[in-house]
Structure 1
Amino acid sequence: MSQTKTLKVRLTLFFILVGGMLAMVAVVTDHWAVLSPHLEQHNVTCEAAHFGLWRICTTRVAVQDRKDKSCEHITLSGEKNCSYFRHFNPGESSEIFEFTTQKEYSISAAAIAIFSLGFIIVGSICALLSFGNKRDYLLRPASMFYAFAGLCLVVSVEVMRQSVKRMIDSEDTVWIEHYYSWSFACACAAFILLFLGGLFLLLFSLPRMPQNPWESCMDAEPEH
């Protein structure tokens, strides 16, 4: 592999590494979405919530003299009450969380995200082994694993988005306002870096194409 192509491969792997770190941060944190209720009067306590793939956290914040009747943009500071979703921790009594998070959506999003991390790990193993002598061919399966990881991540993001939508539309919840937080942004950024990085890595790892129409791949001069 030429020095120019080696530099391109290493630069691509750096961006993929950043994408993998963002994916890990998105999976283990619980700031995918922030929910807030509608306030009927001023000087009340707003019970906002934020959640991720595994648990939901609620925070009570005192609201005073607000012109709008929502606590959508209130900073979630202070004491938090966090609880893992009931289907991940059956011992906890959180029936409202079991319903409002839409069990099938939550489990699907978490499982697909775990598959994404698995693809990242396998792709990283192939990438590390490719640094050995004459093992550049391992970059091609590594690139596919990274692309698959990005696709799994964007599917998990869409499943989570549908879960939030159903939660807001449900009449059994007090939350009517929502916005997506930094964990959600990390997942979206990780998808872009992993998917595009995988495609570019596959492109850079392919053998040099023949320069002349009558030249076959076997006849082309080997790269040094």
Structure 2
Amino acid sequence: MRKTKVKITFLVILVGISSMLAAVVTDHWAVLSPRVERLNTTCEAAHFGLWRLCKKSIFIVEEDPQGKGCGPISLPGVKNCSYFKHFTSGEEAEVFEVKTQKEYNISAAAIAIFSLAFMTLGSLCLLGAFGKGRDYLLRPAGMFFAFAGLCIIISVEIMRQSVKRMIDSDETIWIEYYYSWSFACACAAFTLLSLSGISLLIISMPHMPRNPWETCMDAEPEPID
């Protein structure tokens, strides 16, 4: 019964790992848009992730029914992507004109790396637990996956605060935003990995006696003086 539960949890973890990798390596966490004042003009929308910013020049021929922003981002246009210089000196990407934006992105990317490290350690422990007599590895595996989920949700919150700060700042042109599918993948990874980690911790707990007599009968006899 325990082995079946571990296998089911392992399948859920695989989905969580896939969601995590999709979120970390893609750049559709948030889509930013400037205000569009008139039609038949070109505007520049942007989408970004932990590592890269992509700006897209879109020619607007009809009004956006949901507002006055540039887009949607799926419209055809000239696309230009550049990687953030997180850990090296140099000019920041144009969208990060606010000085604190670089610190936000560095923090989110660093915590995401920690999340990947915890996820890798958890996977190694879980694979080792399938060996005979290695059930003790389930507990550290559960802890590592729970930590991985915690790290990725912290990274999500940092990115959310970063986007909010850019929208609220008078130094940027962005007035509208929405979170895209990479953001959803990160939230899904948090849910799946955290729940799977907790499940492994519960599964790894020792057998609970069905009644108090089992504990009394299994107890070692006390020595007689």
Using structure 1 for the length normalisation, give the TM-score. Answer: 0.89
State how far apart, in whole Å, the 2-side matches of 1:78 and 1:49 are.
Answer: 12
1:61 — aligned with what? Answer: 58
Shift in Å, 1:74: 4.0
Distance 1:219 1:168, change over 3 A: same
Give SS of 1:214's match: helix
2:215 — aligned with what? Answer: 216
* 2:208 aligned with 1:203: no
Does structure 2 conserve the Cα–Cα contact (< 8 Å) formed by 1:86 and 1:98? no
Q: Percent of aligned positions with the same letter in both sequences?
A: 64
2:26 — aligned with what? Answer: 29
- The structure 1 residue matched to 2:35, chosen from 33, 38, 52, is 38
Shift in Å, 1:115: 0.4
Q: Deviations over 1:130-177 (max 9, x none)?
A: 111100110111001000100001000000000000011111111110
Once the two structures are superposed, the pairs formed by residues 47-196 of structure 1 within 5 Å of their partners are 47-66=44-63, 68-75=67-74, 77-88=76-87, 90=89, 94-97=93-96, 99=98, 102-196=101-195
Shift in Å, 1:73: 2.8
What's the Cα RMSD here?
A: 2.1
State how far apart, in whole Å, the 2-side matches of 1:211 and 1:40 are.
Answer: 71
Q: Deviations over 1:55-75 (max 9, x none)?
A: 110000100131642225341
Specify the structure having the higher radius of gyration (Cα). 2
Give SS of 2:137's match: helix
Segments of 5+ residues of structure 2 without an aligned counterpart are 220-225
Distance 1:105 1:51, change over 3 A: same
State how far apart, in whole Å, the 1-side matches of 2:28 and 2:144 are.
Answer: 27
Aligned length: 217
State how far apart, in whole Å, the 2-side matches of 1:52 and 1:218 are.
Answer: 59
When structure 1 is superposed on structure 2, of 78-87 and 133-142 the one drifting more is: 78-87
2:9 — aligned with what? Answer: 12
Does structure 1 conserve the Cα–Cα contact (< 8 Å) formed by 2:29 and 2:182? yes
State how far apart, in whole Å, the 2-side matches of 1:165 and 1:216 are.
Answer: 56
Q: State the one-letter code of the partner of 1:131.
A: F
Give SS of 1:128's match: helix
Does structure 2 conserve the Cα–Cα contact (< 8 Å) formed by 1:37 and 1:174? yes
